[in-house]
Amino acid sequence: MRTGWESMKKLFVVTVASEKGGVGKTTIATNLAVYLKALHEDLPVTIASFDNHFSVDHMFALGPRPATGMHELLTGSPSPELVGLGQYGVQYIASARRLSPPDATPKSLRARLDALDLDGILILDTRPILDWFTEAALLAADLVLTPVKDRASLLNASALRAVLADAGRSERLWLVPSLVDTRARLNSEVRVGDFLTFSARERDYQVVDLMISKSPRVESLASGFASRIRPVLTHARQTAVHGQLRALADFVLSRRAAAPPAPEIASVVPGSPPFFRRLVAECPVCAERAIAANGHPFFDLRSRRQGLIHPECFSELLNECELGMLAGPEAMLVMELAGPGMIDEEAELQLHLFDSGNRLVASERVIDPGQGHFRGVLEGLTGRRWQATLREWVLVAGESGSLERLSRRAEREAFAMRRRLVLREAMGKLR
């Protein structure tokens, strides 16, 4: 199966999490944002916190406190307006005094973050407890950084790893030795920092090859009575922590570069005729231009996107499912998707085949639709990233034709009428 949906980078989410307080978690999260932006001025960097100490706001806020923030992210309709430009060129989402877990699974957070339409890197600072918010931040992350400074914090990391392991994402967790006194030794030969790293690797953890030193100068930047928290980059460059945070930023950039690219979503043709208001130029299977040749018409109910699938691409798609043996030129294929942002389990894709009389012939459940070509095809059909899909209905006609033919009024009306009949039948019988 050809796939052309592999050229655009998705939002890269970095979660900084630890069940133990006092390990430098917020210091790492806030300063990491500053260093990432300083290293690459053209890289969008955003930060948000589930904690209520307002450290993010005290470092990055510009002007009056925004009217919306983390509370609205979790309870309302996610909007780019929730994100404000802050100090040092870092974007931020305003913290909230009180947050209550929404009536949704923690897995739903990633869909809300993707709905913000952000680029670059998003850093999530978490609470020193494994609650709904921390679990959600872990499951939304492409990279999890867990600061550890002693045996207790190392032991606590096992709970975070268990959450990720249950989701099949334990490889995203990296420990960061933090607040380590470089002068402290267990004996004349073994330093505390080296022993901490050795102990972590003995427990089969991935450990970032650096350590954030304990520094009174750095600690003073977030203490005292000043309302503004200052970053290490501008107020503690003479400390060893300056170089260590830069190295940590380089590590994050390297992990982002190694991450799989996100699918490219087919664009809507500008200036489309009124009856093709959301016309997509590319075939959602191979991402090559399709509207200049014959193809199978498709229609996405929620976005109203429509376009053509190359006949050979449609055949390849049917060959991946058992319904392909039953599909004829007068059939209608309906894809029903319950996306990962909507339900507690993994995403579920059902394929339904209707005959020329708009009667249901057969249905088939696609195993693990989040993997392989089906994921890219669905993103091309709906115009939404996989994590942002909810309940989707997409129809594909078994009969191919040209865009010119479909532009005729009689053909358009016939296809629209059949879509309505099939969807009415599907939504009525398949519930």
Handedness of CA 200, 206, 210, 212 (dihedral sign): negative
pLDDT at 3: 36
> Is residue 78 very low, low, confident or very high in pLDDT (cuts 50, 70, 90)?
confident
pLDDT at 241: 96
Over the stretch 108-122, which tens digit does the pLDDT of each residue have?
898 889 888 899 999
Q: Token match 């930023």: residue?
A: 249
Task: Determine what percent of the chain is predicted with pLDDT higher than 90.
Answer: 46
Handedness of CA 60, 24, 220, 222 (dihedral sign): positive
**Domain ranges within the chain, ordered by starting residue:** 12-258, 274-429
pLDDT at 425: 84
> Is residue 1 very low, low, confident or very high in pLDDT (cuts 50, 70, 90)?
very low
Buried (b) or exposed (e) across 178-207, using 16+ Cβ within 10 A?
A: bbbeeeeeeeeeebbbeebbeebeeeebeb
> Is residue 366 very low, low, confident or very high in pLDDT (cuts 50, 70, 90)?
confident
* CATH class of residue range 12-258: alpha beta
The pLDDT of 255-268, averaged and rounded, is 74
The pLDDT of 382-386, averaged and rounded, is 77
Q: Mean pLDDT of all residues in the chain?
A: 85
pLDDT at 430: 52
Position 15 pLDDT exceeds 60: yes
Over the stretch 204-215, which tens digit does the pLDDT of each residue have?
999 999 999 999
pLDDT at 317: 83
Tokens found for residue 151? 């045996």
**pTM of the entire predicted model:** 0.65
> Is residue 342 very low, low, confident or very high in pLDDT (cuts 50, 70, 90)?
very low
The pLDDT of 345-366, averaged and rounded, is 84
Position 66 pLDDT exceeds 90: no
**What is the residue-wise DSSP string for 70-125?**
HHHHHHS---GGGEEE-GGG-EEE---S-----SS-TTHHHHHHHTT---SEEEEE
Range from 4-13, 315-324, 327-336, 400-409 carrying the lowest mean pLDDT: 4-13
Higher-scoring residue by pLDDT: 350, 125: 125
Residues 6+ apart with CB under 8 A from 131: 101
Which residue, among 5, 4, 28, has the nearest Cα to 15 in the 3D structure?
Answer: 28
Among 59-63, 224-228, 246-250, 372-376, name the most confident range.
246-250
Which residue, among 150, 156, 133, has the nearest Cα to 196 in the 3D structure?
Answer: 150
> Is residue 303 very low, low, confident or very high in pLDDT (cuts 50, 70, 90)?
confident
CA distance 305 to 394: 9
Whole-number Cα distances in Å, 374 to 3, 244, 303, 317: 10, 42, 18, 8
Over the stretch 170-183, which tens digit does the pLDDT of each residue have?
999 999 999 887 66
Tokens found for residue 136? 């959600």
Residues 6+ apart with CB under 8 A from 18: 25, 126, 128, 146, 147, 148, 153, 156, 157, 160
Nearest 10 degrees: Cα torsion 192, 250, 24, 113: -140
